[in-house]
Structures are given as structure tokens and as C-alpha cells.
């Protein structure tokens, strides 16, 4: 019996260490991309829109570490600006979606009744439209506009926060600690700050990383099919579709944005990974 307990404890410890290692790896990847996006443009010092037709499709070298595209633009400079755009817009959309989603989820669970039914119906109505299609509709209203993509992403992401916050806050509100706080006369702000938010924080942190990864992929997908941001804006999806016709003669062109996109999504997914099942 004691041996089984020790084995289970050791297995749990190994799973926790593996999960912690994955999260640290994800944080390191995202931190590296964030540093590259924030300081890369200033360090590189090259205008990502500057065209030098004499330097078309140069291979990686000392002057241009990742070579140049068909218009002679520095791939490294464009990649740094694209990383800033994708990471910044995705995080902004995810945080913007999280605030109303969490608040509405808590309100629905707290109040119940008609308010909860109305909010659930609203969430189901939004959920009935595929998220990428919703972003596409806003992008069609204002082609190439940052605010259209931002609003579309935020509207497509808030439903998940609403559903998770509503489900996770229900047992907390029904718990003895919240009931005791209410009997002692503490108001909703105290309950939210001392009981609900600490209970919701772990799952919401996981959901934030997951939704940011969704936003990054959505931006790249829209740029790749030509309905998101428009040239000459440096964006990962746009860079891939611009470099695709030249993949045979200059494969490094399409490899660079694909690798950065993979690193962004991988870093965010490692943050939400858990230990292996027993």
C-alpha cells in the first residue's frame, strides 16, 4: 500500500516537473519572439517597405541575414514588423475579449434566471457563426483596416471566456466561503476580488494563451487568402503568399514566416500544456 502511494506521488511529481518545463519553454519562446518584435526593427534599422530591385531574391548573407524578397525588401526587417503586428494584435484582441466575456459569465452565474438565459442565448447566437467567418465579415466591411480585424477577433473570442467563466464561477458562488462572506455583509466587489478571481485565474490564463494562438492563426489565414491586411503591410500570412511563387528558387523566403508562425503558436500551446495522464 505504501509502495503504491509512493509510486503515485513520484509519478505526480514527474508530471508536474514536465508540465513546468513545458511552460518555461513556452515562456522562453514567446519572450524571444517578443524581444525580436519589440527591438528588432530598431536594431535592424531597415525600412520593411524599401524596395531595391537590384537586390531581388538575394540569399541569406551578411547584408541581409534572411535574404531579400522579389522586390528586394529585407526579409528580416519585414519579419520583425510582422511579429510585432501579429503578436500585438492577437494579445490585444484576446485581452479585450476576456474582459467582457469573464464579467458577463460571472454575472450570468451570479444572477441566474432571465439574465442568464438571455446571455446564454446571445453567446449561442455568436457561437453559431464560425469565428473565422465572423472576422472575415468585418474584414470585408473595411478591407485592410486594423480595427476591423481587431473587432472581428474580439467578437469571435469572447464567447469562450463567457462559457468558461460561467461554468467555473458557479461552484465557487455556491461554496461555503462565498456564503460566509455574504452573511458577514461583504459586497459583490469583495466576493469577486477574494473568491472568484483567484479561482478563475488559472483556467483563464490557459484560455488567454489558447485564444491568442487562435488569433495569430486567424490573422495569418486571412492574410494568406488575401482578405486581411493588404500589401505592403508586413504580415505573416501576406509574406507567405507573396513568397509562395518563388519557393523553388528561394525556399528561405517562405520558410522564415512559417517558422515564426510555428514558434508563436508552439510557445502559446506549451503554456497551456499539462502533464501526461497517469
- Domain borders along the chain are 2-272
CATH class of residue range 2-272: mainly alpha
Closest CA to 151 of 163, 162, 135: 135
pLDDT of residue 277: 38
> Distance (Å, rounded) from C-alpha 150 to C-alpha 36?
22
Closest residue by Cα to residue 254 from 7, 67, 109, 93 = 67
C-alpha span between 70 and 1 (Å, rounded): 69
Instruction: Write out pLDDT tens, residues 8-35.
Output: 566 566 777 887 888 889 899 999 999 9
Residue 11, pLDDT score: 58
**pLDDT at position 259:** 92
Residue 80 confidence (pLDDT): 92
Which regions in the chain score pLDDT beneath 50? 275-278
DSSP single-letter state for residue 99 = H
So what's the pLDDT on residue 9? 61
- What is the rounded distance in angstroms from the CA atom of residue 44 to the CA atom of residue 249? 25
Amino acid at each position: 500500500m505504501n509502495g503504491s502511494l509512493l509510486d503515485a506521488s513520484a509519478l505526480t511529481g514527474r508530471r508536474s516537473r514536465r508540465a513546468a518545463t513545458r511552460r518555461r519553454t513556452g515562456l522562453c519562446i514567446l519572450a524571444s519572439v517578443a524581444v525580436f518584435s519589440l527591438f528588432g526593427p530598431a536594431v535592424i534599422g531597415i525600412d520593411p517597405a524599401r524596395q531595391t530591385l537590384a537586390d531581388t531574391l538575394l540569399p541569406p548573407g551578411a547584408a541581409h541575414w534572411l535574404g531579400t524578397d522579389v522586390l528586394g525588401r529585407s526579409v528580416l526587417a519585414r519579419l520583425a514588423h510582422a511579429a510585432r503586428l501579429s503578436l500585438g494584435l492577437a494579445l490585444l484582441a484576446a485581452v479585450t475579449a476576456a474582459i467582457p466575456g469573464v464579467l458577463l459569465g460571472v454575472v450570468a452565474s451570479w444572477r441566474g434566471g432571465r439574465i442568464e438565459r438571455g446571455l446564454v442565448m446571445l453567446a449561442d447566437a455568436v457561437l453559431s457563426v464560425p469565428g473565422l467567418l465572423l472576422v472575415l465579415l468585418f474584414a470585408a466591411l473595411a478591407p485592410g483596416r486594423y480595427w476591423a480585424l481587431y473587432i472581428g477577433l474580439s467578437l469571435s473570442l469572447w464567447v469562450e471566456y463567457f462559457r468558461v467563466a460561467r461554468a467555473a464561477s458557479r461552484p465557487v458562488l455556491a461554496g461555503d466561503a462565498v456564503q460566509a462572506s455574504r452573511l458577514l455583509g461583504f459586497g459583490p466587489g469583495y466576493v469577486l476580488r477574494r473568491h472568484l478571481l483567484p479561482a478563475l485565474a488559472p483556467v483563464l490564463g490557459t484560455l488567454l494563451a489558447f485564444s491568442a494562438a487562435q488569433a495569430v492563426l486567424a490573422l495569418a489565414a486571412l492574410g494568406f487568402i488575401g482578405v486581411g491586411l493588404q500589401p505592403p503591410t508586413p504580415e505573416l500570412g501576406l509574406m507567405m503568399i507573396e513568397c509562395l511563387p518563388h519557393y523553388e528558387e528561394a525556399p528561405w523566403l517562405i520558410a522564415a514566416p512559417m517558422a515564426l508562425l510555428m514558434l508563436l503558436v508552439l510557445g502559446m500551446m506549451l503554456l497551456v500544456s499539462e502533464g501526461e495522464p497517469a
